[in-house]
Amino acid sequence: MKLRLLLYSYDWAPLVGGVQTITLDLAEGLCEWSRSHNDEAIDLTLITETPAGGMDDSKLPFPVIRRPGLSALVKHIRSADLVHIANPTLLPLTLTWFLRVPTVVEHHGYQSICPNGILLYHPDASVCPGHFMAGRYSRCFECNSAKRGSKATLQTVMLTFPRRWICKHVAANVAVTDHVARRLSLPRTHTIFHGIRITDAAELKSPANGDPPQIGYVGRLVTEKGLPTLLEAASKLKDSRLSFHLVLIGDGTEREALERQARRLGLENQTTFTGYLTGVAFEKALGALSVVVMPSQWEETAGLAVMEKMMRGGAVVVSDIGGLSEVVGDAGLKFIPGDADSLYGQLRRILEKPSMIASLGSGSRARAIKNFNRDSMIQSHIALYQEVLLQSQTRRTKTSDR
């Protein structure tokens, strides 16, 4: 039986991010699986609101439809056996609900319980205790209005109500960690971890030619990632006369402020801001890092960059928070979110005992292969799709027999 699957991702390639990476890997993996299962083939179409830019979609093994009009979107939803939505985007959610098409929603953020989607209380950049779910809507308004304005904030808060209601009634919700599943508290939730391709060999190597160890961050340079804490910890390492080089891979709205902070702390000669990297350049930069640090101050849903480094056999140091802490488990070092002294202490341990890099890397690779491999992610999605379709067919049969 052929499954006509519609995969919807509002933001997608060529934009760079975790959602874009995972949905591309999922789509390609499903196509690979389909080619070897002709009797259970998946006919996949991806829809996104992101323009192609310079990306050549014809090279992909599935059709991509960008920025369809409403009538075209309705047509594609009607023709699908199942719709998979990456993050609870309200328009396709609403259409699938009215058209009664079985729908799976994969939650890469907290949009179904938080108007800003990241559970971060912007006035003081603290983790939100759950104001929306507790009915403290005035706090949600206070949180978002400074950045969005009153009108846009009111709209965002109001739209969170139907978004959550529909998510409570879809065929299945997918959480990317158990932490996210607990936070969202939605019915019919399945946890499916992100999957990374298993590489042939782990990194497990020391810096070459006596170069100082590279401590790095990979991701967007934005407020919720807690990067000032990393720079403050690096300053303390410098004051302790420990040898290292700090590399920040990525770009974002906070880059200029972070560069100013690095100069103020006297770190300009020990810090490199690479900007966005892709392809070979990204792989080379990531592979050169001795340690990856994720200093997030929000409850990361998973932490794809950390998973990637773990799969390569790299050492990781992360904030003890949210899905990020769950992903690392006991295979890395953790520190108190927002606490530069705590992060400094963990990094100092590694720099003073470089052999920890290999030992931590060995454990992180073993954990990644067991829990975050791409094949498991693909198989888990296929099993869920089959379960949802079977339930849908059973309901239709019962209805027709009445």
Average pLDDT over the chain, rounded to an integer: 93
Residue 198, pLDDT score? 83
Shared fold status for 3-195+373-401 and 208-371: yes
Tokens 């998510």, residue located: 167
Cβ neighbours of residue 316 under 8 Å, at least 6 residues apart? 291, 292, 293, 294, 306, 309, 310, 328, 331, 332, 333, 360, 364
As a whole number of angstroms, the distance between CA 28 and CA 34 comes to 10
Residue 51, pLDDT score? 97
Question: Would you place residue 202 in the very low, low, confident or very high pLDDT band (cuts 50, 70, 90)?
Answer: very low
| pLDDT, mean of residues 219-230 | 95
What angle in degrees, to the nearest 10, is found between the helix axes of 137-148 and 150-167?
130
Q: Is 313 helix (H, G, I), strand (E, B) or coil?
A: coil
Longest dimension (CA), the chain: 78
Q: Is 68 helix (H, G, I), strand (E, B) or coil?
A: coil
| pLDDT, mean of residues 72-90 | 98
Summarised one tens digit per residue, pLDDT across range 309-334 is 999 999 999 999 999 999 999 999 99
Ranges of each domain in the chain = 3-195+373-401, 208-371
Homologous superfamily of 208-371: Glycogen Phosphorylase B; (3.40.50.2000)
Q: Is 383 helix (H, G, I), strand (E, B) or coil?
A: helix
Tell me yes or no: is domain 3-195+373-401 CATH 3.40.50.720: no
As a whole number of angstroms, the distance between CA 208 and CA 288 comes to 9
Cβ neighbours of residue 289 under 8 Å, at least 6 residues apart? 214, 215, 216, 218, 247, 309, 314
Rg (CA), the chain: 22
Residue 204, pLDDT score? 47
